[in-house]
Amino acid sequence: MIVDVHAHHHPRAYNEAIAPLYPGANLDGLARFPDTDDEAHIAARLELMDEAGVSMQVLSPAAGRAPYGADERTAVRAAQLGNDANAALVERYPDKFRSFVSLPLPHIAASVRELRRGIDELGMVGVNLHISVLDRSVAEDEFLPIDDEVDQRGGVIFYHPCNNGICSPLITDYGLNGALGTSLEDAAIVLHLVAKRIPTQFENIRFVIPHLGGPIPMLLERLDNQFSMKHRRLAEPPCVTARRFYYDTVAHGSHAALLCAWKAFGADHLLPGSDYPVLLAHETYARTFSWIREVDLPAADIDQILERTAPTVLDLGGFRR
């Protein structure tokens, strides 16, 4: 059973609700692919899932689609509307979809309320946090109440880049937000969480990082040497903390990247993701998973990555194929 933990969904009403939060943005950018809750889009999505052998998608918003913004009323309305729409889709297709709850950040009290509603009332499997909120890392102290709530529930946080070029003109001026910036965001949130010692403070949270953690698998030894020189009060070496996290397989088919992550983290810390529908511009949805079977890994580890890690991490024990 393949559970795609990194699948985006943008209900029509949600796109309209977040429009004031992203003035000037082209929110129709993904609509050439089936990513809304229009009936035709849902039917096409289900067909693609069947073709790919994907039993279930776990839904969340893509970069630039989180319900984040300075205006609290707009953010809260968008988050509630999106979460309600996702919950309705899960209720309609309980064997096909689950959802992460999205939060109206940076409004902490409202976000904690929405988190409780999402997990406790709507039955969502975890929380989606985009890596920064109005250019503040979500590892900053003001976001700790979110970690505390998830920790109390023994839940999952699925992080996602926000495509801001990591606030660097060295990225944005060269048009590298997607090609490089998102991988740097992935790596940055891992290291921010390590620096803040959040995984050792909140040991009940399962942290899921997208895109194999960007360059993190290549850096573990370097981090133990150089990161530790700057952060002397860590509870454990950075490589140990980095191995507490789970990482999705979105790698644009790179065998080298998956081999490196497998070596760094182990098959039981890798789980399937597609970045649906973003990669449909480059390859079929089925291909987003089938390439993993062609990587030079032990067959048991490929099965672990594709079929076993995600149901355990997401606690889908009662899930039926």
**Residue ranges binding Zn ion (CB under 5 A):** 275
- In the bound complex, which residue of the shown chain has the CB atom lying closest to Zn ion? 275
Q: C-beta of 211: minimal distance to Zn ion in Å?
A: 8
Q: By the 8 A CB rule, do 274 and 56 touch?
A: no
Q: C-beta of 237: minimal distance to Zn ion in Å?
A: 29
* Secondary structure of residue 94 in the 3-state scheme: coil
Regarding beta strands 136-137 and 132-133, do their DSSP bridges make them parallel or antiparallel, or are they unpaired?
antiparallel
Distance CA 107, CA 222 (A): 36
Phi, psi dihedral angles at 106 (to 5 degrees): -90, 25
- Token readout for 100 is 């992460």
Q: C-beta of 60: minimal distance to Zn ion in Å?
A: 8
- Name the helix (H) or strand (E) containing 201: helix 198-201
Q: C-beta of 320: minimal distance to Zn ion in Å?
A: 27
Distance CA 283, CA 260 (A): 22
Q: With respect to Zn ion, which residue has the nearer C-beta, 61 or 238?
A: 61
Q: By the 8 A CB rule, do 241 and 194 touch?
A: yes
Distance CA 172, CA 146 (A): 30
* Secondary structure of residue 150 in the 3-state scheme: helix
Q: By the 8 A CB rule, do 49 and 95 touch?
A: no
> Any idea what DSSP says for residue 21?
G
Q: In DSSP terms, which residues pair with 132 in a beta bridge?
A: 137
Q: C-beta of 130: minimal distance to Zn ion in Å?
A: 10
- Token readout for 187 is 């790596």
Q: With respect to Zn ion, which residue has the nearer C-beta, 163 or 228?
A: 163
Q: With respect to Zn ion, which residue has the nearer C-beta, 45 or 107?
A: 45
Q: In DSSP terms, which residues pair with 154 in a beta bridge?
A: none
Q: With respect to Zn ion, which residue has the nearer C-beta, 8 or 206?
A: 8
Q: With respect to Zn ion, which residue has the nearer C-beta, 158 or 202?
A: 158
In 3D space, the residue among 242, 229, 225, 141 whose CA is nearest the CA of residue 188 turns out to be 242
Whether the link from the prior residue into 277 is cis, omega within 30° of 0, is yes
Q: C-beta of 210: minimal distance to Zn ion in Å?
A: 6
Q: C-beta of 301: minimal distance to Zn ion in Å?
A: 24
257 vs 44, 271, 277, 314, CA distance in Å? Answer: 30, 14, 21, 24
Q: With respect to Zn ion, which residue has the nearer C-beta, 61 or 199?
A: 61
Q: With respect to Zn ion, which residue has the nearer C-beta, 149 or 248?
A: 248
Q: C-beta of 313: minimal distance to Zn ion in Å?
A: 17
Q: With respect to Zn ion, which residue has the nearer C-beta, 33 or 202?
A: 33
